[in-house]
Amino acid sequence: MKLKGILPFARQLIDAAVSEGDIAIDGTVGNGHDTLYLAKIVGDNGRVFGFDIQEQAIANTKERLTNEGFSDQVTLFQTSHDQAKSLIPSPYHGKIKGAIFNLGYLPGGNKEIVTTPVSTISAVEQIIEMMAPEGILVLVIYHGHPEGQIERDQLLDYVTSLDQKLVHVLNYQFINQTNNPPFIIAVEKR
Ligand code: SAM
């Protein structure tokens, strides 16, 4: 057996939870790789809601989706993911099957614009509430930059405190690698 790397494992979790026709969220669309991945899974009958605070990220994601022919099933919001509950229409609440948050800064963009613990935790809290039973939320945590370390610690405190009757929380991490490699926290709604 070969252990899965972080990004392939994140996708394996998403694959297990999200199917054709489902509803999913990309909490940090960035350059749109994960948004496209989700859009391909949910297909024409599903919907993906994507968030990013940067105009550049929304533009890059729009372009990627359009070029690949997957823009119809995606709604993009140029705003913080902590607005998820108010922006995602209420008929979708309780139906979210998968969500992904690739934290940190936009690759190729401004490294000073990073995800922050208060809005990330608020978004996670809202999405847990909106998820369907057995829905999965995947957080990929980058903690090589100073703000990433603060976010990591606060997120770990938050997810560790979640009621085990409500969610299962998994931590998938290579613990003998140097240079703070990214790791995964996955939250499955029971
Ligand atoms: N998954 C993306 C991809 O496939 O390219 C990469 C995401 S990148 C690591 C993190 C993104 O989070 C950045 O584009 C950044 O602008 C965005 N971000 C930072 N704070 C945010 C917030 N409060 N709400 C939504 N997005 C945010």
Ligand 1 mutation target, pool 11, 28, 101, 145, most atoms within 8 A of CB: 28
Would you state the CATH architecture of domain 6-189? Answer: 3-Layer(aba) Sandwich (3.40)
First to last CA, the chain: 29
* Residue-wise pLDDT tens digits, 100-149: 999 999 999 999 999 999 999 999 999 999 999 999 999 999 999 999 99
Confirm if 139 and 124 have CB atoms less than 8 A apart.
yes
- How deeply is 4 buried, as exposed, middle or buried, from its count of CB atoms within 10 A (0-12, 13-18, 19+)? middle
- Domain segments of the chain: what residues? 6-189
Q: Which of 40, 53, 70, 100 for mutating ligand 1's site (highest number of atoms within 8 Å of CB)?
A: 53
Q: pLDDT, tens digit, for every residue of 166-182? A: 999 999 999 999 999 99
Give the helix ranges, DSSP H, for 3-77: 6-17, 33-42, 55-68
- pTM for this prediction: 0.98
C-alpha 124 to ligand 1 mean position (Å): 14
Rounded CA separation 130/151 (Å): 23
